[in-house]
Amino acid sequence: MRISKRLKKYRRQIWSGLALVFGAGLLALLVWIFHLDRTITTQFEGRRWTLPAQVYAEPTELYIGSTLSADAIEQELQRLGYRRVQELKDPGTYRRRGAQIELINRRFRFWDALQEPQKLTISAPARGIQSMRNGRGEDVPIFRLDPLLIGSIFPIHGEDRVVVRPDEVPRLLPAALKVVEDRKFYSHHGVDLGAIVRAALVNLRAGEIQQGGSTLTQQLVKSYFLDSRRTFARKIEEAMMAVLLEIHFDKQDLMNAYINEIYLGQDGRRAIHGFGLASQFYFGKPAAELQLHEVALLVAIVRGPSYYDPRRHPKRARARRDLVLELMAEHGVVDRDAAERAMERPLGIVSSKTQAGGYYPAFLDLVRRTLRRDYRDEDLTEAGLRIFSTLDPYAQREAEKALTQELERLEKARKQKKPLEGVVVITRPQNGEVIAVVGGRDAGFEGFNRALDAKRSIGSLVKPVIYLAALESGRYHAASIVEDGPVEVKLSNRQVWRPQNISHEYYGPVPLVRALSQSLNLATVRLGLEIGLPNVTQEFQKLGLEREVPQLPSVLLGALDVSPFEVAQLYNAFANGGFDTRLRAVRAVLDAEGKPLKAFGLEVTPVADPTAVYQLNQMLVQVMEHGTGRGARAYLPSGLVVAGKSGTSSDYRDSWFAGFSGSHLAVVWIGHDDNTPTGLTGSSGSLAVWARVMRSLETASLSASLPEGLEEKWIEFRTGLEARPGCGEDIIRVPLPLDVELPPADGCEVGVFDSIGERARQWWRGIVR
């Protein structure tokens, strides 16, 4: 009896313990489910994706009189992902017949207007656009193509996407996803038990997780809520969250979320999420314009974005694409003939360097720095802002090509043991727009931005600043004589500074125009000392250098570390006739709904005497005709007037060239990252890159009206003495103040009647102007 009572007592205790454990476990399970449910509803309901700011390039403007030929227009349309067709029906398509192009543009909201799709007929023979008419036959004077999406400002974890609405999703995409990834999508409740059992048997046999039975909902949970670990505990959590998602949201919401969330590839440190961005990244077009074979490839990539990367493994990707097409035909999504025609199509992947979802790290870095003055990082990486930039993709491409090809040529010709690096910055001086930034020879590499952050000794690029200070003093002009001879400067440490010309020769008395053109160090140092170091260093601040310049004699020969972007800002004032326009990379910012937030207007500030700048610029023209820039003539179109200056730092460590035309300014730097000598001067290195860049642009000659108080005179380049055509050696024409009288060159004495005639011509030119 006692034993029986004890057994009953033990049984009650055991059952009580089991009930307590079961109750505690059930409570823990309920708490866990409640936690998962709360996580889902708070994070997914009213879902707002992390939407990086999208950055667009400058739109291509078509107008009557433009020099764009039909070939150039077609190339631009192809770069934007427009599809050539026989019958024109849809936006993003075009048809060509000889010199005539018909297109239907895409709907696009610019910063100042919404442009709806319309038909446009363009007549553009080799000499340029002659006419443009809309679908009603009306003349169209100017038309903007939708701009190129050049990248995004994404958060540090690198997740990037372009969100698409259900009406922007190709009809075949959801159907293809169901056939390939989850055929019971509309019948299960988040988990497909049959698929899980099949996967479990495979995994038990292998002793590890080799196969998943995940539904689309589970894949969505994994991408949005969980990490990539493959454990049984994580699979249970994934399954439970999928069931809860199905309880709270309908199938259409889940499908649209999947289409915008799923991971589809990698571009450097940028993760490509969603079919909207993947369409741009792989095909250079919006998702709405995807064709059957393109939809099939993107669906194929879902299974393994790295394994089926069509750029790295095209055969593997094509085989998987064709399998997707086979499944689509087998399950009636498309007919067999359409699937077979699609299988015959190539992959159609755009180049990673030219695709419309491309990434320009150096320029985007400039955009990011510009916007951080007005926006928080969270706004830029999460709020879906639309940034309209000043980037000209054509200029960017030409700059990258010119730099890469010239660096390779220099390395081969000079048998460089270590690779050279380089930078190109291109601007439009009149409005300060930066249209291209190349931060290194590997333009797509996101790392150290040499264009903005490489502070290098600028060498003789400093000289125009010194000569401007001299001209502004009123004591000097282009024909003023300065001695190019030995110079000794006692320094504060009791040492003596003895600069040298690069040739180690002395040239004696020379006019300023020759000293600048031939980059004579000794004449420049003497000039700088005569006008005073304080006046020279102050000139840098006036021209836009935003830091103090040390008042040291070595600054007169460019012992000043400046970035290529800062050089562009300095020279911008020269190209602008003495007016400073702050360099800018952003035109306007819109919010996610398309409402304008900020426009970056033009800011113009007078910083130098326009008359002095005019004289300086004419001297810089002589640099290109008679000085260190004359080698550019082998590349530039005949008759194009440009101004510029070479720069070489000590021991040939840095090769520079900065110059401008009437509509563009470009700065080029070449050197080694470790600051070792290159053996290159500005003329033997950077000049060729600069000239090739300027040749590629539709640029105008430098021209400006002769300011009041100046007249043009003929002088000998070598001596600065007054001459006239047919008399004297190496005759050039320079602007000089009206009260300047020059001694004549040998045999070039100007008679009374010649002098009167010249003054009459000056008077007549003033009236004509």
Report, as residue numbers or ranges, the catalytic residues. 181, 460
Strands 61-63 and 421-428: unpaired
Q: Render 305-326 in DSSP notation, one character per residue.
A: TTTT-TTT-HHHHHHHHHHHHH
Calculate the alpha carbon distances from 424 to 443, 451, 665 in Å. 10, 7, 10
CA atoms within 13 Å, Cβ hemisphere of 250: 1
Determine the Cα–Cα distance for residues 50 and 270; give it in Å rounded to an integer: 13
Q: Whose CA is closest to 129, among 106, 100, 109?
A: 100
Tokens, residue 731:
């005759």
Determine the angle formed by the axes of helices 610-626 and 463-472, rounding to 10 degrees: 140
3-state secondary structure of 134: strand
Contact 629, 683 (CB under 8 A): yes
Residue 113 structure tokens: 């207007």
* Structure-token pair, residue 9: 């007592």
Q: How far apart are CA 310 and CA 317, in angstroms?
A: 5
Question: How far apart (Å, rounded) are the C-alpha atoms in residues 181 and 216?
Answer: 7
End-to-end CA distance of the chain, in Å? 130
| Total residue length of the chain | 769
Q: Residue 199: helix, strand or coil by DSSP? A: helix
Rounded Cα gap, residues 638 and 754, in angstroms = 32
- Interatomic CA distance for residues 236 and 240, integer angstroms: 6
Nearest to 107 by CA among 299, 364, 288, 312: 288
The Cα 485–Cα 499 span in angstroms is 10
Token pair belonging to 410: 């220099």
CB 560 within 8 A of CB 420: no
Element (H, E) at 668: strand 665-671
| 27's tokens | 């409570």
- 49, 260 Cβ separation under 8 angstroms: yes
SS3 letters for 349-412? CCCCCCCCCCCCHHHHHHHHHHHCCCCCHHHHHHECCEEEECCCHHHHHHHHHHHHHHHHHHHH
Burial 348-381 (b: 16+ CB within 10 A, else e): ebbeeeebbbbbbbbbbbbbbebbeeebeeebbb
Helix axes 2-44, 232-248, angle to 10 degrees: 60
In our burial notation (b when 16+ CB lie closer than 10 A, e otherwise), range 459-471 reads bbbbbbbbbbbbb
Residue among 472, 479, 466 nearest 522 (CA): 466
The C-alpha angle 468, 519, 490, rounded to 5 degrees, equals 80
**Cβ partners under 8 Å of residue 411, min gap 6:** 419, 420
CB-CB neighbours of 121 under 10 Å: 18
DSSP character string of 603-628 = -EEE-S-HHHHHHHHHHHHHHHHHST
> Which of 317, 274, 272, 280 shows the shortest CA–CA distance to 296?
317
Task: Please state whether beta strands 142-144 and 61-63 pair in parallel, antiparallel, or not at all (unpaired).
Answer: antiparallel
Q: How far is the C-alpha of 434 from the C-alpha of 418, rounded, in Å?
A: 31
Residue 92: C-alpha distances to residues 133, 170, 254, 279, 721 (Å): 18, 14, 29, 14, 64
